[in-house]
Structures are given as C-alpha cells and as structure tokens.
Amino acid sequence: MRRVLPLCLALAFAAPASPSLAWLLYPDRERPERLIVEIERSFGDAVPLRRLPSPFDTALQEEQGPDALSFRWRYDRQAQGLAFLRVDSEGRGALELRFADRNFTPGGRLGAAVVLAGKDGEAMHTFYVRSVRNPRPGPRGSGGFSAARLELSRPPAWWRDVDEMIFFFMIYHPIQKLDQEGMWRAMRNAVERITDGKGTSQRG
C-alpha cells in the first residue's frame, strides 16, 4: 500500500453543480522528488493549485523540471490517463495527456478534459482530448497507447491567475454509436455544466 503524504487531501464533495474536491497527492514511488496528483472523481474533480506544496502551487511550471508534477486517473482496471502541464517563463504552455489502454472494450474510446479556472472560479480555458486507437498491441494486452499535446501561449500574468485545474474523464462505448464530432459534442456538453461556456477552449 502506498505511503501518502500528510498533506494528502480527500475532501468533502461540493454541491452537484460545482466541481468536487477528492484528489490525492503523494510522491512517486520510484522518484520521490516527483509528485503525483491522483484524480478520484470522474466528473469534475478540482485541484486548487494553492493547496499543492511550493513550487508546484502555480501554473507556471518552469522551475519544477519536466514531468515533476503529474496528474493521473483510472478509467477502469485496464485503462488510465495522465496529464502534464508545462509553462515556461515567457508564458508558452503545453498540456500533454496520455492514455494507456489495455484490453479495453473493442471500439471504445476514452476522453479527457482539463479546465483552467481563475480565483473567481470562472473557467479561463478548457482542453479537450480523446484517445487515438493504437494499432500496435500494448504490453500484456491487446490495447494501445496514445498521447496528445496541446499548446497555449498566454502572458505570464495570465498563468499566475490560474487558481485551479478541473479534470474530467469519460468513456464512450461502441453502443453509443458516436462519430468524431458526436464525441466532441458529448464532451463539451458534459464540461459546460460547470464552465457555463465561459473561457476559451481547444481540442486535440
């Protein structure tokens, strides 16, 4: 069983219309200097950056080094998602999302969205990503892996105003018969229950 930091949080859920706070923070077992934020709730799990230890308590991640802070969640026992945010001192940011999909339902797709919200709680920007099926089999299974990188340039002051990251992850089964645009639309509809359509967005 992993050893969780004393500052690990498992907070009470907010009202249904608001993001939940139920994430866990702990050091990487193999690289203790790296921190992992584990997302517990699939529908709108908010991570207030101010509650992370310094220097991880800001969206400007240029001092932490590559992959020093990662966000992770599980779709089920066979699939998981990871996210890394990097922002340099000039305000050039990139969010990388990775999907590891082993033995997942044939024809199924995975989706994820990350909302950057300000101190007033309003959405500033939303990233939407869906998995891309890898034709090559993954280790120990028939699934595959995919990754997407979305870039966003804003002034450094804009990034300093980012107060929290809100995570969503979704599973779309073949029986839903969603084409690509239908999947994007379903993702947007789910997330806009919290963002109320505010802020900019991009998909990749």
| Band (95; pLDDT cuts 50, 70, 90) | very high
Q: Give percent of the chain above pLDDT 90.
A: 44
pLDDT top residue among 135 and 102: 102
Q: Is the pLDDT of residue 2 over 80?
A: no
Q: Is the pLDDT of residue 124 over 60?
A: yes
pLDDT of 140: 46
CA distance 76 to 29: 21
Q: Is the pLDDT of residue 86 over 80?
A: yes
Rounded average pLDDT over 26-54:
91
pLDDT of 72: 94
Q: What's the distance, Cα to Cα, between the start and end of the chain in Å?
A: 35
Ranges of each domain in the chain: 24-194
pLDDT of 104: 58
Q: Is the pLDDT of residue 14 over 80?
A: no
What are the CB-based long-range contacts (under 8 Å, 24+) for 174-182? 174/105, 174/106, 174/107, 174/108, 178/109
Q: Is the pLDDT of residue 63 over 70?
A: no
Average pLDDT score over the chain = 81
Residues 6+ apart with CB under 8 A from 122: 198, 199
Q: Is the pLDDT of residue 76 over 90?
A: no
pLDDT of 107: 66
pLDDT of 179: 79
In Å, how far are 25, 81, 83 from 64, measured between CA atoms? 16, 21, 15
pLDDT of 64: 62
* Strand ranges across the sheet with 35-38: 24-27, 35-38, 69-76, 79-87, 92-101, 144-153
Rounded average pLDDT over 61-65:
65
Rounded average pLDDT over 23-34:
90
pLDDT of 6: 35
Lowest mean pLDDT among 62-71, 152-161, 176-185: 62-71
Q: Both tokens of residue 20?
A: 């939940």
